[in-house]
Amino acid sequence: MGLLRPLRAGIAVLLSFGIALLPVHALVSLNDGRDKIFINTSVSTGYDSNLFANSSGGGDYSYSLNLGLEYIRHAGLIGMDASVAIDANRYGKYTNENFQNPTFRTEFTKQSGRTTGSLVLSAVRQSRADTAANIRDVSWNYNAGLNLKYPVIERYSLSGNVAFSQTDYVDNPALVNLSSYSAGLDLFYVYTTDRDLLAGYHFQENETSANSKTYDHSFTAGISGRIFWLFHGALRAGYSIHDPVGSSDQSYGSWTANGSAGWNPTKRLTVTGQLSKAVGTTSTDVSVDTLATSVDAQYAVNSKTAFDLGTGLSQSRFLGRLGGGRHDVNWNWNFTFNRTLTNRLKFSFSYTFAENWSTVSFSDFVQQSVTMSLASRF
C-alpha cells in the first residue's frame, strides 16, 4: 500500500502535465534547415525503496520535471550541438534531498577532411546515491575532452585523445574532490572490410583534495567492427598499472577490458552485451577495481511500442589500506516499457531491482524503484 498510494498520485500528476505539454513550442528551423532549435520536456513520478543505498534503507516517492533547450548546427566544416537543461525533483518525505540540477553541454564535430574528431565540454550538477560511500551526495561534474583521428596510409590510422574531468562535492567535507587528467593514443589497422584491429596506450593522473595522487597506465589491444559471428561493436583488453604516489600502498597491476557488442536476431529484436574492468577512485579516496558485465534485450512490437529487459552483475574490490579489504558484489535487473502516444509525446514505465552483497554490513542493501514518465521534443 505504501507504494500504490504515491503511484496513484503520480499518475494524476503525469496526466495533468501531459495535457499541458501538448500545445507548447514547435521546432525552430533556420538557415535552410542547417540550424535547428529543439525544446525538450519531461515529467516523471516514481518510488525508490532505498534512496541512500545502505542497509538502513529509507524509501520515498518523488515527482520531477526536466526542461531543456538544444541547438544543432550542421553547416560548414565544424558542426555544433549545444544544450542546456534543468532537472527539478521533489520528494514526499525526505524533502531535504530535493534538488534543482542544471546541465550544460557543447560538442563541436569535424566529420570531413583528412583529420576528423570532436571537442566536448560539459558541466553537470548531480544528486545521487553513492554506492561506495553508501550515502546520498551532491556534486558538480566538469568534463572536457578532445578526440582526433588521422589516416596515416591506406590501412593504418591514428586516434588520439586528451581529457580533463573534475568532481566537486557540495557541503560534505567527508568526501574528497577529484581531478583527472588523461591522454591516449591508438593505432588502427584495417584487417578486413568489416573489422579493424587496434592497439594503444592510455595514461591518467588522479588528484584528490586529500592530497593523494595516483598514476594509471593501460596497455590494450582489441577489435572494432564485426567482433565474431553476427556480433558487431568494439572490444579491447590488456594490462593496467595503478600506482599510488606518496603513499604506503603498493602499485597494483591487473588485467583491464572495455567493450560492447550488439546482435540483431530479427528486425525487431536487438541484444547488446557490455564488459568493463578498470580501477577508479571513489568519493572516499579509495581505489576500487571493478569488473562489470551486462546484457540488454530490446524488442520493438511496432513503430510505437517497445520493451527493454536487462540484467547486470558487478564485482568491486576496494584496494589499499583505506579499502580495508572490502569486497562488494552487485546484481540488478530492469524492465522498461515505451509507448509513443503522439508524434510529440512519449510514455515510459520502468522497474529496477538491485541487491548489493558486501563484506561491510552497512553496505548490504536491496533497492527497488518504479518510474513513470512523459517526454516531449519539439
Torsion angle of C-alpha atoms 90, 92, 95, 98, degrees rounded to 10: -20
pLDDT band per the 50, 70, 90 thresholds, residue 44: very high
* pLDDT, averaged across the chain: 92
Amino acid identity of residue 242, one-letter, is H
In this structure, are residues 41 and 24 in contact, taking their beta carbons and an 8 Å threshold?
Answer: yes
DSSP string, 292-320: EEEEEEEEESSSSEEEEEEEEEEEEEE-H
Domains of the chain: 4-377 (2.40.160)
Q: What is the pTM of this model?
A: 0.89
User: What's the pLDDT at 16?
Assistant: 47
- pLDDT band at 29; cut points 50, 70, 90: low
CB 73 within 8 A of CB 65: no
**Mean pLDDT of all residues in 266-275:** 96
What local confidence, expressed as pLDDT, does residue 368 receive? 97
Query: pLDDT for 156-182, tens place per residue?
Result: 999 999 999 999 999 999 999 999 999
CB 229 within 8 A of CB 241: no
pLDDT for the residue numbered 378? 86
Q: Is a pLDDT exceeding 60 seen at residue 22? A: no
Query: What span, in angstroms and rounded, lies between the C-alpha atoms of 336 and 348?
Result: 7
Q: What integer pLDDT is reported at residue 323 of this predicted model?
A: 94
The beta-strand segments (E) located in the chain are 28-30, 35-48, 60-73, 79-91, 99-110, 116-130, 135-151, 156-169, 178-192, 195-208, 213-228, 231-245, 252-263, 269-281, 287-300, 305-318, 327-342, 345-358, 365-377
Percent of the chain with pLDDT over 70: 91
Q: Is residue 371's pLDDT more than 90? A: yes
Residues 173 and 181: their CA atoms lie apart, in Å, by 23
Provide the pLDDT for residue 217.
Answer: 98
